[in-house]
Chain A
Amino acid sequence: GDSVTQMEGPVTLSEEAFLTINCTYTATGYPSLFWYVQYPGEGLQLLLKATKADDKGSNKGFEATYRNKTTSFHLEKGSVQVSDSAVYFCALSAFSGAGSYQLTFGKGTKLSVIP
């Protein structure tokens, strides 16, 4: 079945440091790929997405490129801020037998940014 593997957290960075969170996936066919962010006590917010190979998703300074040869979708940001502290989830969506396109998530990576 489909699966997503993220780098283990927690990740602690100083403000203005470079961020990379690794994500690899296994899926049949060609899934769409997503990064969601979850702040404490809240639901998930869509951060960015990519729907086909070599697409780059970007939002709020975050970027991720759909690499189907390496089955990866790593999240990057050039300069993190304290307000970026949250849990980040990599996810994929692929057609299922029931046509649901449900999301399959990684376990999440907690990011803490210190001033």
Chain B
Amino acid sequence: DTGVSQDPRHKITKRGQNVTFRCDPISEHNRLYWYRQTLGQGPEFLTYFQNEAQLEKSRLLSDRFSAERPKGSFSTLEIQRTEQGDSAMYLCASSLLREGQYTQYFGPGTRLTVL
């Protein structure tokens, strides 16, 4: 099957601008996760969806961050009024309950640079 895809792969923006990233999960997967990875660190969990429902969003970094998955397929992550500290790799992963486990498969990521 095709893997998780993310678009764009790279985004350069100026401080204060809004940015939106898209993630297309593996087609039959009902769970979708967003993570942020800063340089030299492991990814940190931001939020997740089961189908179209966002079931955990308390780990989003601030109220400037929001995510949607309107039809239970692709998802978008938006950052409003970007700051230089938002520069990072944003990773999307999807999963399906199988054998009692939700093994997550990751996309290639979107690297954000805020100038």
Q: Which residues of A contact B (CB under 8 A)?
A: 4, 32, 34, 36, 41-46, 49, 51, 89, 91, 93, 96, 98-108
When the two chains form their complex, are residues A103 and B56 in contact, meaning their CB atoms are under 8 A apart?
no
- The tally of CB-CB contacts under 8 A between chains A and B is 70
* A-B CB proximity, top 5 nearest: A105-B42, A98-B56, A102-B45, A44-B106, A43-B106
Chain-A contact segment, one of B13-21, B63-71, B80-88, B96-104? B96-104
When the two chains form their complex, are residues A51 and B101 in contact, meaning their CB atoms are under 8 A apart?
yes
**B104 contacts which of A41, A96, A103 (Cβ < 8 Å)?**
A103
Closest to B97 in A: A101
- Please report the C-alpha to C-alpha distance between residue A46 and residue B93 in the assembled complex, in whole angstroms: 11
On chain A, the residues within 8 Å of B41 by CB distance are 107-108
On chain A, the residues within 8 Å of B56 by CB distance are 96, 98-100, 102
Closest Cβ of chain B to A63, distance in Å, is: 18
When the two chains form their complex, are residues B40 and A44 in contact, meaning their CB atoms are under 8 A apart?
no
Q: Mark B20-38, 1 if CB is under 8 A from A, else 0.
A: 0000000000000101000
At the interface, yes or no: B91 with Cβ under 8 Å from chain A?
A: yes
When the two chains form their complex, are residues A44 and B43 in contact, meaning their CB atoms are under 8 A apart?
yes
- Please report the C-alpha to C-alpha distance between residue A108 and residue B6 in the assembled complex, in whole angstroms: 22
On chain A, the residues within 8 Å of B35 by CB distance are 103
Closest Cβ of chain A to B62, distance in Å, is: 19
Closest to B44 in A: A105
When the two chains form their complex, are residues B106 and A36 in contact, meaning their CB atoms are under 8 A apart?
yes
